[in-house]
Structure 1
Amino acid sequence: MSAKQPLITKGPHKWWMDAIIYQIWPASFQDSNGDGVGDLPGILSRLDYIKSTGATAIWISPFYDSPQHDMGYDIANYEKIHEPYGNMEDMDAIIKGCHDRGMRIFCDLVVNHTSDQHDWFKASRSSKDDPKRDWYIWRPAKYDADGNRQPPNNWRSCFNQSAWEWDEKTQEYYLHLFVVEQPDLNWECKAARQAILDSAVRFWLDKGVDGFRIDTASLYSKPMDFPDAEVTDPGAPHQPAFHLFSDGPNLEGYLRVLGKVFNEYDSMTVGEFPNASFERSVRATSAADPQMSMNFHFALCDWKRDMANDPYQLTQTETLSSFKRILSAQQTHVEGTDSWPSFFLENHDIARSTSRYISDAPEWRVASAKVLACLMATASGTLYIYQGQELGQVNFSPEWPLEEYLDVGSINYIKLVKERGGDLKQAHKGLAALARDHARTPVQWSSEANAGFSTAKPWMRVADEYKSINMADEDKDPKSVLSFYRKAIALRKEHLDTFGHGLFRLTDVENDDTIIYSKLGPDGKVAVVALNFTTKPQKFAVPPEAKGRKLQLLLSSLHDSVSDDSTLEPMEGRIYLAV
Structure 2
Amino acid sequence: MKRAWWKEAVVYQIYPRSFMDSNGDGIGDIPGILSRADYLAELGIDVVWLSPVYQSPNADNGYDISDYRAIMTEFGTLDDWKRLLKALHDRNIRLVMDLVVNHSSDEHPWFVESKKSRDGAYADYYIWRDGRGGCACDAEPPNDWQSVFSGPAWKYSAARDQWYLHLFAEKQPDLNWENPVLRREIFDMMRFWLDLGIDGFRMDVINMISKDAALTTFMNGPRVHEFLQEMNAEILSKYDIMTVGETPGVDPALAELYVGENRNELNMVFQFEHMDVDSGPGGKWDIRPWMLTELRAILGKWQRELDGKGWNSLYLNNHDQPRMVSRFGDDSPLWRVKSAKMLATMLHTMQGTPYIYQGEEIGMTNVAFPSIEDYEDVEIRNWVKEERERGALRDNELLKRIHYRGRDNARTPMQWTAGKGAGFTSGTPWLGVNPNYAEINAEAALADPDSIFRYYQKLIALRKRKKELVYAGSFEDLCPRNEFVYAYRRTLKAETFTNAQPESDRSILTILNFSGEAQDIGFLTDHIDNAGDLVLDNRSTDEKKVPLSPATLGPWEARVYLGEGN
TM range (shorter): over 0.9
Shift in Å, 1:434: 0.7
Q: Select which of 194, 217, 232 maps to 1:259.
A: 232
Asked if the contact 2:206–2:246 (Cα under 8 Å) also holds between the matched residues in 1, the reply is: yes
Match of 1:162 in 2: 152
Amino acid at match of 1:256: Q
Deviations 1:71-115 (A, max 9, x none): 100000000000000000011111111111111100000001110
Deviations 1:126-165 (A, max 9, x none): 22221110111111223499x9621111111111121111
Q: For this pair of structures, how many residues does the alignment match? A: 547
Q: How does 1:6-405 map to 2 (within 5 A)?
A: 10=1, 12-143=2-133, 149-199=139-189, 201-227=190-216, 244-260=217-233, 261-306=235-280, 308-316=281-289, 318-337=290-309, 339-397=310-368, 400-405=370-375
Asked if the contact 1:551–1:565 (Cα under 8 Å) also holds between the matched residues in 2, the reply is: no
Shift in Å, 1:248: 0.9
Change (3 A) 1:553 1:127: same
Deviations 1:482-528 (A, max 9, x none): 11111122122221223454442211111101111112234232221
Asked if the contact 2:19–2:32 (Cα under 8 Å) also holds between the matched residues in 1, the reply is: yes
Match of 1:577 in 2: 562
The CA distance in 2 between the partners of 1:77 and 1:415, in whole Å, is 30
Amino acid at match of 1:323: L
Asked if the contact 1:313–1:431 (Cα under 8 Å) also holds between the matched residues in 2, the reply is: no
The CA distance in 1 between the partners of 2:214 and 2:380, in whole Å, is 31
Matched, 1:549 2:530: yes
Amino acid at match of 2:407: R
Q: Select which of 392, 395, 398 maps to 1:422.
A: 392
Asked if the contact 1:313–1:427 (Cα under 8 Å) also holds between the matched residues in 2, the reply is: no
The CA distance in 2 between the partners of 1:457 and 1:99, in whole Å, is 32
- Unpaired runs of at least 5, structure 1: 1-9, 228-243
Deviations 1:449-485 (A, max 9, x none): 0100000010000001101000001101011111111
Change (3 A) 1:545 1:345: farther
Match of 2:506 in 1: 525
The CA distance in 2 between the partners of 1:336 and 1:268, in whole Å, is 18
Question: Alignment partner of 1:218: what SS?
Answer: helix
Asked if the contact 2:99–2:201 (Cα under 8 Å) also holds between the matched residues in 1, the reply is: yes
Deviations 1:314-360 (A, max 9, x none): 213x41111111111122221232x2111111110000000011211
TM-score by length of 2: 0.93
Q: Select which of 456, 467, 485 maps to 1:496.
A: 467
The CA distance in 1 between the partners of 2:230 and 2:60, in whole Å, is 27
Amino acid at match of 1:223: D
CA RMSD of aligned residues (A): 1.8
The CA distance in 2 between the partners of 1:349 and 1:52, in whole Å, is 26
- Unpaired runs of at least 5, structure 2: 494-503
Asked if the contact 2:19–2:33 (Cα under 8 Å) also holds between the matched residues in 1, the reply is: yes
The CA distance in 2 between the partners of 1:490 and 1:186, in whole Å, is 44
The CA distance in 1 between the partners of 2:360 and 2:127, in whole Å, is 39
Amino acid at match of 2:476: R
TM-score by length of 1: 0.91
Asked if the contact 2:485–2:513 (Cα under 8 Å) also holds between the matched residues in 1, the reply is: yes
Identity %: 38
The CA distance in 1 between the partners of 2:528 and 2:513, in whole Å, is 21
Asked if the contact 1:214–1:270 (Cα under 8 Å) also holds between the matched residues in 2, the reply is: yes
Amino acid at match of 1:563: L
Q: Select which of 407, 425, 430 maps to 1:459.
A: 430
The CA distance in 2 between the partners of 1:428 and 1:219, in whole Å, is 30
The CA distance in 2 between the partners of 1:310 and 1:381, in whole Å, is 27
